[in-house]
Amino acid sequence: MMEIRKASIAHWFFDNSPSKCGYCKSSNCSHSNGMWAEQLTVDDYQTLIDRGWRRSGKYCYKPIMDLTCCPLYTIRCNAVNFKPTKSQKKVVKKFNKYLKDGELPSSGPEDENARDTDVIGEHVPSMHLDANSKLVMCESKQEAERKPVEEEQRTSKEVKPPITMESTRVVKKVVKKGMGADPNKPPCKKAKLLRLERRKNKDGTTTVIRGQKKGEKSLEDLFAAEPQGKLKVVLVCSGDADEEWERTKSAEYEVYKKYQKIVHDDDVNMKGFIRFLVSSPLKTRQAEEEEDSNIKYGSFHQQYWLEDKLVAVGVIDILPKCVSSVYFFYDPAYRNLTLGTYGSLRELHYTRDLYKLRPSIEHYYMGYYNHSCPKMRYKGKLSCSDLLCPETYTWHRIEQCLPSLDAQKYCRFAGSDVVDENACTEEDIKQFKIFYNYRIYYFGNISYNKRMTECFTQIGSLCGKKCIDSLLIVDPQR
């Protein structure tokens, strides 16, 4: 029989009544299955998120994709092959510039932090950003309306010559036929090319000009250019009562409280903060000896410190095959640094570091992708991203999925011949374990009514057969 400390223990919620949707804000249209996990092994949670599950504190949920109003597709990015875009590079460079000169950039629409919308189930009001956008647009409109008036006032004071037929006569310029450009002289070059050729690199070589490929900068190159000694990113274990986290929890809570109030207009308390972002069902464990002893699996907080000031916190889960983003919050005073995007790139960079120690950790999970929510489409712009098929639980490149999602909200991405290889059979269902009256029973050895049999069949379908050996359902009759 299984050891309780190595088991995944969960209370299953058989009632999946519809609720209000956090995306479209409609009532009684969001459908999902859920369970309260007392504890989860990191291997079981890896299996669950690869079947569309996510956690919020100890509560785990999976949308009913063909029923819910806003289908949520699990999305991941291959961190090893990820290449930052021009705009993503600008975010890191902007942050590095701040570290160098200490001046925060001015606000503006270009500083919109797309990650805040929902890497981890968060919904950010766009009121502040929309207000900025409208303000800029209004200023531009007023300026555009003012310029013709000023021009008219200025030109009205000038003495204008009388308009005559002679003054309007078109004079044709006669150009003599020649031989064209001198073939003995080199062709003219644009000023930009001439400047590039004059510019020299530190090693004395000429800067790359048109026709030559510039070396693409990786995440490592971008973060290597960061001024040393200004920013410190500290990884703190939050799943267990870690002394370092206990010492800094007040600082974390103050940042979280300001973030929720200013960004979400939400009043919070310490109890809710602990329940939402600190409590975790994942049991922290060291990697096996045949793996790398320097890696710990479980739930962690990445704290971003500028000298002695905490400015941001990234909540992540480190699992056997990925780093999963849970939540990210920051001090709103640093909002113009686009910290959400910066933190996401940092977590991608950290995933790449873990990959060097443990090659199975090659993906960065970003939560859910909601194609019907424009503010979440930025996730699909991360290179090398995949979406999870809601029926076969196979991964597919997002570029191939987008045409189908443009046509309809709910889609099966895999072909008709593809099946769920982790599906449970009737015999598998009988092997589910139930914890009742301080004893463990096999479902197949207990006489249940038809409704309960259907419920366990549903559990097997949603969790998969890989979880059967370690998943323990607590007294499902209650």
How many percent of the chain have pLDDT more than 70? 74
Closest CA to 340 of 113, 118, 129, 121: 113
Q: Three-state SS string across 58-126, please?
A: CEEEEECCCCCCCCCEEEEEECCCCCCCHHHHHHHHHHHHHHHHCCCCCCCHHHCCHHHHCCCCCCCCC
Is the confidence at residue 1, as pLDDT, over 60? Answer: no
Domain shared by 345 and 364, yes or no: yes
Could you give the 3-state DSSP secondary structure of residue 216?
Answer: coil
Question: Is 121 or 54 the better-scoring residue by pLDDT?
Answer: 54
Residue pair 419/392 in contact (Cβ under 8 Å)? The answer is yes
Report which DSSP code applies to 467. G
Q: What is the pLDDT of residue 152?
A: 35
Domain shared by 361 and 317, yes or no: yes
The CATH number assigned to the domain holding 99 equals 3.40.630.30
Domain shared by 330 and 459, yes or no: no
Q: What is the pLDDT of residue 292?
A: 52
The answer to the question of residue 434 being in a domain is yes
Is the confidence at residue 268, as pLDDT, over 70? Answer: yes
Confidence tier at 254 by pLDDT (50, 70, 90): very high
Q: Average per-residue pLDDT in the chain?
A: 80
Closest CA to 375 of 24, 27, 105: 24
Closest CA to 380 of 361, 362, 393, 367: 367
Domain shared by 249 and 110, yes or no: yes
Q: Model pTM?
A: 0.77
Report the pLDDT averaged over residues 260-286.
92
The answer to the question of residue 63 being in a domain is yes
Q: By mean pLDDT, which of 139-143, 271-275, 370-374, 385-389 is the weakest? A: 139-143
Confidence tier at 153 by pLDDT (50, 70, 90): very low
Report the pLDDT averaged over residues 358-362.
94
Q: What is the pLDDT of residue 215?
A: 65
Domain shared by 468 and 352, yes or no: no
Total tally of structural domains belonging to the chain: 2
Domain shared by 104 and 59, yes or no: no
**Starting at the edge strand that comes first in sequence, how are the strands of the sheet with 471-474 ordered?**
54-56, 59-63, 32-39, 8-13, 471-474, 433-436, 439-442
The answer to the question of residue 292 being in a domain is yes
pLDDT in tens, 194-251: 555 554 443 444 333 333 345 678 899 999 999 988 999 999 998 666 778 889 999 9
Is the confidence at residue 286, as pLDDT, over 80? Answer: no
Q: What is the pLDDT of residue 307?
A: 87
Domain shared by 350 and 430, yes or no: no
Domain shared by 431 and 373, yes or no: no
Confidence tier at 158 by pLDDT (50, 70, 90): very low
Report which DSSP code applies to 275. I
The answer to the question of residue 398 being in a domain is no
Report the pLDDT averaged over residues 141-145.
35
Confidence tier at 54 by pLDDT (50, 70, 90): very high
Cα-Cα-Cα-Cα dihedral sign, residues 101, 114, 47, 451: positive
pLDDT in tens, 173-197: 454 555 555 555 556 666 655 555 5
The answer to the question of residue 160 being in a domain is no
Q: By mean pLDDT, which of 285-294, 355-364, 460-469 is the weakest? A: 285-294
Task: Give the domain-ending residue among 344, 365, 388.
Answer: 388
Domain shared by 86 and 21, yes or no: no
Q: What is the pLDDT of residue 194?
A: 55
pLDDT in tens, 372-408: 888 787 788 888 999 999 999 999 999 999 999 999 9
The answer to the question of residue 35 being in a domain is yes
Is the confidence at residue 106, as pLDDT, over 60? Answer: yes
The answer to the question of residue 401 being in a domain is no
Cα-Cα-Cα-Cα dihedral sign, residues 168, 169, 170, 175: negative
Domain shared by 245 and 321, yes or no: yes
Q: By mean pLDDT, which of 160-174, 265-279, 283-297, 449-463 is the weakest? A: 160-174
Domain shared by 337 and 464, yes or no: no
**Helices 86-101 & 339-357 angle (0-180, nearest 10):** 100
- Bridge partners for 315 per DSSP: 301, 327
Domain shared by 121 and 260, yes or no: yes
For residues 276 and 125, what is the distance between their CA atoms, to the nearest angstrom? 20
For residues 363 and 386, what is the distance between their CA atoms, to the nearest angstrom? 10
Q: What is the pLDDT of residue 130?
A: 33
* Terminal Cα distance for the chain, rounded: 24
Report the pLDDT averaged over residues 358-383.
89
The answer to the question of residue 258 being in a domain is yes
C-alpha distances (whole Å) from 46 to each of 270, 310, 400 are: 29, 30, 25
Report the pLDDT averaged over residues 345-353.
96
Q: By mean pLDDT, which of 15-19, 85-89, 396-400 is the weakest? A: 15-19
Task: Give the domain-ending residue among 362, 388, 414.
Answer: 388
pLDDT in tens, 291-347: 556 789 999 999 999 989 999 999 999 999 999 999 999 999 999 999 999 999 999
Report the pLDDT averaged over residues 79-102.
94
Structural domain boundaries enclosing 259: 75-125+221-388
Task: Give the domain-ending residue among 388, 411, 436.
Answer: 388
Q: What is the pLDDT of residue 143?
A: 36
